[in-house]
Structure 1
Amino acid sequence: MNNIIVDGPEKADVTFIFAHGAGADMHHEFMEAVAKQVANHGIRVVRFNFPYMIKRAEDGKRRPPDRAPKLLEAFTEVVERFGRGKTIIGGKSMGGRMASHLETLNIQGIVCLGFPFHPPGKPEKDKGEHLADMVKPTLILQGERDTFGNRDELACYPFSDAIRLTFVPDGDHSFKPRKASGHTETGNRQLAAEHIVSFVREVCQ
């Protein structure tokens, strides 16, 4: 299928279904780098495009994301079709937020990379209220400087006990650090992949 990419062993015991963010599709270099690094640990990683991205690929026209019900329907269809064995779902930014609304599916856990808690500069527009009630094991990997929710803003955020919040050092929304920090974008992506692998192995053992 043109709108599905599978990395890692086809007969892996665990599948990670990995959704893209609002502005970039499954081919984006962040998505590709993280997917391949996770797949290198023997995990089957499935990337897919949401419907509006499929249309963009067909006609080249930029368009906003579909509304949540359509995104959730598309995500659910991919999970039902490509989930195999023990399944983890997650995604970058918007993709991770959509995954966090699908914990009733037959999955073992959820991974959110750069959760969009609020639009940049608008902390009053909170999009994570449901995180206080989640019951499925969930890993949120957040850049310390993420303008969609940084370390200071999340210090007292009302997460449920099912959620593990881990910060990526000096990272922005895509985990890119400042040069002066001593960290690198490549290193932070590798760190994120390692956290994902550790979480997957823990919840799928």
Structure 2
Amino acid sequence: MGGVTDTQLIETPAGGARITWHRAAKARLILAVSHGAGGGIEARDLQAIAGALPAHRVTVALVEQPWRVAGKKVAPAPKTLDAGWRGLWPALAAQGLPVVAGGRSAGARVACRTAAELGAHAVLALSFPLHPPGRPEKSRADELLGAGVPTLVVQGGNDPFGRPEEFPDGKYGLVEVPFGDHGFAIPKRASIGQDDALGIITEGVAQWVDAL
């Protein structure tokens, strides 16, 4: 289970953001992860990581972008997402530990776009949206490959935004979650269960973080 939990509201140029801290007892780094454009920090993968990583001496900061805190249903433009992330970064850095930037889907894109500029220690990209569904020619690989820091992609085997085999060669790690869709949901007919899938995610992330 995760460690001590508390929340912090941060004013950013895009509005008020919220960090929910899952603190490790003797943290050696911070993993800050934000949600995608279609949901919040209740996403199964974010909750699983927040529950598992504090045991590895990693404090997990679940970040809610200002549009979610304000109760809006639709995510703003990428430049506004980046502005919100930049605005809350000082609160992460103020903890005095290396910060791994991360997110799922749109949040992964934000982390990749801003990692080098903000001095992120590494990037965790959950369900990176390599392209819009059915539009492989609209690749966003340049964002992933341009992160400039150690990067791990965790991708569902059946993600319509990019299956693992579609990802280009590059200097990043890739963990495949068999049968998983964009939200890492596992169909009932699959040979693994939902808990197995979450275990693949948390173990993959923990091993990668331990090696940083």
In the superposition, the TM-score normalised over structure 2's length comes to 0.83
Partner residue of 1:113? 126
> What CA distance in whole angstroms lies between the structure 1 residues aligned with 2:120 and 2:146?
17
> Please, which runs of 5 or more residues in structure 2 have no aligned partner?
1-7, 10-17
1:68 to 2:78 alignment: yes
CA distance 1:132–1:7, change in 2 (3 Å):
closer
Q: Deviations over 1:52-106 (max 9, x none)?
A: 11111xxxx52x2121122112112222212331211101111111101112122
1:147 to 2:189 alignment: no
Which moves more between the two structures, 82-91 or 176-185?
176-185
> What CA distance in whole angstroms lies between the structure 2 residues aligned with 1:72 and 1:31?
19
Which amino acid is 2:123 matched to? I
1:193 to 2:202 alignment: yes
Aligned residues: 194
1:9 to 2:24 alignment: yes
Shift of 1:29: 4.0
Q: Which runs of 4+ in 1 moved over 4 A?
A: none
Partner residue of 1:78? 88
Partner residue of 2:108? 96
> What CA distance in whole angstroms lies between the structure 2 residues aligned with 1:30 and 1:164?
18
SS in 1 for 2:208: helix
Partner residue of 2:15? none
1:46 to 2:61 alignment: yes
In the superposition, the TM-score normalised over structure 1's length comes to 0.86
SS in 2 for 1:103: helix
Identity %: 26
> Please, which runs of 5 or more residues in structure 1 have no aligned partner?
none
Which amino acid is 2:27 matched to? A
Q: Deviations over 1:126-169 (max 9, x none)?
A: 12223334431000011111100013433xx2x432x1122111
Partner residue of 1:160? 170
Tell me, yes or no, if the aligned pair for 2:109 and 2:143 is still in contact at 8 Å. no
Which amino acid is 1:26 matched to? I
Shift of 1:11: 4.8
> What CA distance in whole angstroms lies between the structure 2 residues aligned with 1:169 and 1:10?
33
Tell me, yes or no, if the aligned pair for 2:109 and 2:144 is still in contact at 8 Å. no
